[in-house]
Chains A and B, each alone.
Chain A
Amino acid sequence: MTQLPYAIDAETPLSKAELDVLRAQYEKEGDMVGVQTKFNYAWGLVKSDTRTDQHLGVMLLSEIFRTSPERRRECLYYLALGNFKLGNYANARKYNDLLLDNEPANLQATNLRALIDDKVAKEGLMGVAIVSGIAVAAGVIGGVLLRNLGRKR
């Protein structure tokens, strides 16, 4: 599949007017909304900067995934991308890996996996730093307290 967007594409938000066009189209079709229209709106939302939009976008994508089996494979990628943007790396990885299982040679998915690994590593380090920082602080406080206790004795 060479027709998928790279992750960078999801990082460029649409203008409000552009998103409005997509939303209007989506709302106009009402209950009988077509897959493409739904996707257009969902994609516009995923590209957005605001978290609520992204959430809605991912929700719509998962709806597409559920209702149109023929679109599932590519939807895996969009879902992975959406979840990646949301920071739900576990989900993003799950979807992306599933896609890679099906298409090991998919460039975009490979690219996205690297990105996820990167992000997880970075944020993971930060987490480690925080945790260790807390641990050290606890140790220091504990030591001080112990020493105080010892003195009192």
Chain B
Amino acid sequence: MASDPAHQNEFPDPPSSPENEGSVLSTRGIEAFSRKVTTTASHLMAPLGDPTSHPHYQSAMGEVHKQLRRPMLQRNVFSMARTTPTDLVRSTLSSKEIQSRALSYVPDEMLQNIPEDENQYSLFQGFQATFPEFTEEGRKHRRRVSRGRKLLEETETGHGDGPHGVHKLRKEKASMMHQFEMLGVRKNMASCEIREIDNKMANLMGMRRIILERLANLEQEEALLEHEIVEVEGKLEDAQDLADEAESIALQTPPKSDEDVASETGDAADFMSQSVYEKIPSTRASSKTRKPRNIRRKSMPILHEHFKPGTMIRSVRAHKDSITTLDFDAPFGLMVTAAMDDSVRVWDLNAGRCIGLLEGHTASVRTLQVEDNILATGSMDATIRLWDLSKAHYDPQGSQFGKDDEDDGIAFENPDDQPVDPPSGSMADCPLFTLNAHLDEITALHFRDNVLVSGSADKTLRQWDLEKGRCVQTLDVMWAAAQASALADGDGTWRQTTRAADGSADFVGALQVFESALACGTADGMVRLWDLRSGQVHRSLVGHTGPVTCLQFDDVHLVTGSLDRSIRIWDLRTGSIYDAFAFDHPITSMMFDTRRIVCAAGEDVVKVYDKVEGRHWDCGAGITEAEEQKSPAIVERVRIRDGYMVEGRRDGVVGVWTC
């Protein structure tokens, strides 16, 4: 037994070396095993081979055998061996065992890193608490409990019978204590699980943020690339035009006759055509107005859909005075704002930069609409101007504004204190033409395809053909009202609203056209549906008690907002009210998309009505800034497209939100 230390050395401990543990079928493992077997054997046989100890061998062996039968000694001997032969054989020879060992392998550095135990309960206790019936103890206690309760009742009726009753009660108490303990564990488990879930959610939110940033970057890149594509397309078109031109000229030049060929080498007169080639494109280029490029976006921005509804995407101090009207063509597209300061600004919503100022109107713009790079503005100077925004000289890379360059698509910067000045002349090529026939300020306009309708304070509506740039039809609202009252008295007359049309209420509050259908809301609170083919009102919707300020219709419903503080949703087919709701202040602006009706109701937030969920909620600066003891200005105008909402406030700030 003196050879114990040597014995130990002979049994190298495989698990302590990581590479051995990693690949269990290493030669070292097998070696260790074979060494072990041989040493065990040699250890036992050694005395045999030693002739000098031969006489003592029998007695010595007897001693050993006697001692080996004692378990304590057994343990001493074999505890030195860390494992058994069967284990070793299995761990080195059975592939399935090896596989499962590899799977359940725990790296050593993890084994070194075992933090202090701070859990209120062990996993096993958790197991016991969740499935009390699965454990022996739990079963016992459960049985005990039911029995205990019964016994308790019995003892109560029998009034206890000495030590027996005490014993029962003690048992009862023990089991109740057990249950109590288990309940505590379960409580802890629940709270731990909640914490775990919170952590997971935090992690997921972090991941989401990262991916959202990635999406924002991708969208940014996409927008830039698209811009470049459009540019290249334009160049390609121009080049194609040149090539075609050259070709047609080449065809027109008469084929060379034989004598021409002879004189060709010496005579330079024929080579005049060369200079013609060069001249024609240049003259043509100057004469030809650049074809309006269709920068309709090929890609659909989806970034805003992944924001939480009510998240601010951007806020810009667009103007120094109250916003009078604004519109944008698409999420992260172009936005045009007009304010009381008589300026009209064009914005790149993607970068949050002002592209340029539109100059031409002599008074402030009251209404405007952007559609596919075409902008129509209606002004207090009684003119309507049309602009082609695709002709703006604008580089989305934005080298001209150093400070804005770092902005990415979702930069939540504070609204700039001063509006950024765009490069002058960037919009010089934009004006298309001016429509002037109205006698008073334009208060509403709407266009679709080539039809534009405008409403003016001169109490008329005009229909314009955008192709020819001419007024096609004039609709006199007062005449129509008189007509209606003559035909069927009472209904359809010009009614003086209970809320007297004060100076702020426009005679024509809102317009929308769709092919030959025109809807207009006026200061008398009526909504008239016109047929542009006949120039007649074919339906009047009565209900609002104040001037109508905004309206929009789709294929089923017509939604109107009025200074009478209500939003009314009409059924277009029957002309009856489908739904209505009211706010605390007059509605100044309203728009809806497929899911939401948003409106500006004289508050510092935008009122959103979720049509799908039938839920009202507020969105805007008033919610977050109220906590900071700030009161943002009242929202004057609001527009929404595909859940991307833009609102303009009385202090000239424009906020962009997701809905």
Contact = CB atoms under 8 A, between A and B. Distances in A.
Contact of B119 (A61, A66, A71, A78): A71
B271 interface: no
A132 to B, nearest CB: 6
Contacts of B84: 87, 89, 119-120, 123-124, 126-127
A128 B40 contact: yes
A151 B243 CA distance: 113
A120 B189 contact: no
A58 to B, nearest CB: 5
Interface stretch (B124-132, B309-317, B503-511, B559-567): B124-132
Interface string B91-118: 1000000001101111100110111111
B90 interface: yes
Contact of B104 (A4, A59, A94, A118): A59
B40 A102 contact: no
Contact of A36 (B83, B90, B116, B189): B189
B90 A5 contact: no
A36 B193 contact: yes
A32 B200 CA distance: 9
A62 B105 contact: yes
Nearest to A63: B104
A93 interface: yes
Contact of A90 (B74, B87, B106): B87
Interface in A37-81: 39-40, 43-44, 55, 58-59, 61-62, 64-66, 69-76, 78-79
B37 interface: yes
Given A43-B124, A89-B84, A90-B15, A125 B90 contact: no
Contacts of B124: 3-5, 39, 43, 74, 78
A98 B111 contact: yes
B131 A124 contact: no
A18 interface: yes
B40 A131 contact: yes
A125 to B, nearest CB: 6
Contacts of B116: 73
Most buried by B among A1, A62, A79: A62
Given A55-B100, A70-B119, A121-B79, A21 B126 contact: no
A91 interface: yes
Contacts of B91: 88, 90
Interface of B: 13-16, 37, 40-41, 44-45, 68, 71, 74-75, 77-79, 81-88, 90-91, 100-101, 103-107, 110-111, 113-119, 121-127, 130-131, 133-136, 189, 192-193, 196-197, 200
Contact of B85 (A40, A88, A124): A124
Given A3-B125, A121-B71, A90 B83 contact: yes
Nearest to B102: A59
Counting chain B CB atoms within 10 Å of each CB, which of A21, A34, A98 scores highest? A34
A117 interface: yes
B38 to A, nearest CB: 9
Contacts of B197: 34
Nearest to A44: B134
A28 B106 CA distance: 26
25 contacts: A1-B117, A12-B136, A18-B131, A39-B127, A62-B104, A71-B119, A72-B115, A73-B116, A74-B123, A79-B104, A87-B86, A88-B101, A89-B83, A89-B84, A90-B82, A90-B91, A94-B15, A120-B79, A121-B78, A122-B74, A123-B84, A125-B78, A126-B86, A131-B85, A135-B41
A66 B109 CA distance: 11
A23 to B, nearest CB: 13
B193 A79 contact: no
A74 B120 CA distance: 12
Interface string A127-138: 110111001000
